[in-house]
Amino acid sequence: MISACPRAASDAAVGAAGTSLKQPTASWFNADNFLNELRRVNIFCGGFGSGKTEVAVNFSLRMRELGHRVSIADLDIVNLYFRSREVRRQLRSQGIDVLVPEEALVNADLPVIVPEVKGAIEGRSTNDETRMTNEARNPNDEGPGTKDERTTPVVVLDLGGDPAGARVMASIAEGMRSDDYSSLFVLNSRRPFTATVAAAQEMMTGIADAARIKVDRIVVNSHLVDETTPAVINEGIALGEELAQKTGARIAFVAVQRVLLDRFDAAGCKYPVMVLDRLMLKPWEQSNWIGKYRIQQ
């Protein structure tokens, strides 16, 4: 297990063309126990539309903010949209290693898994300095990399959606020790295939069987994108609690968009809350995250 305590981020306001930008003032709420129990490898799985990739990307950023060396591997070789590799440059600008095929193959419709992924899972490096792919070692890449970091590494695996997308994990799961990883099922009560306990359990079991991993944690990420309300989040928590009781899993944390913090009582939630900044966007949507600063809405 990895011991970590949230590190408070200092406020630093800057102006850009009249827009007020501010560093985050909160990344987690009520998360001390969760962070102290953190395991080295964290596998995020879930159905299509659950927000799995958004959660995995944000989790990587939150771990980096705590000072960990972070690697994220995009293992989604089924869905070509909303994959973590799409924001690889933004992640690398924050010092996160993104394990994807080199530039020529990064968007190819091919089942390509780079060898660095297996090395990261097994806790070894294929490079003396850092676990980076050829693309990440490009001198034109933004970001400082992580070769000077001496903190415990955290590996984030972003699986494809549904059992079909999770199947790729089966080929590399045998290299993992059960006490070295956590599998987190991202649950969105507003998706048709996970709207009931029975449907969510079927999805969760199907992914676990296809990936040959034990899925024992739940991340509540109920949302309707910009139409999300506190009621939707609480609805997801209730469903997560029923699913936990049915499966023996437990709720790891609840993901809440930063723009909802003025309406949702994150500090009063009985579960850890991870603050989420939307990064996986449609071309016409606006992010509240720019470089190292975030727009406070």
| Burial (CB count <10 Å: 0-12, 13-18, 19+), residue 75 | buried
Angle, in degrees to the nearest 10, between helices 230-247 and 197-211: 60
pLDDT in tens, 167-223: 778 777 776 777 889 999 999 999 999 999 999 999 999 999 999 999 999 999 999
pLDDT in tens, 111-148: 445 456 665 666 654 433 333 333 333 444 444 444 44
pLDDT score, position 135:
36
Span 2-24, mean pLDDT? Answer: 36
pLDDT score, position 261:
95
- Map out the domains of the chain with their CATH numbers: 24-281 (3.40.50.300)
Residue 277: other Cβ atoms inside 10 A = 19
pLDDT score, position 78:
55
pTM for this model (two decimals): 0.76
Mean pLDDT, the chain, integer: 75
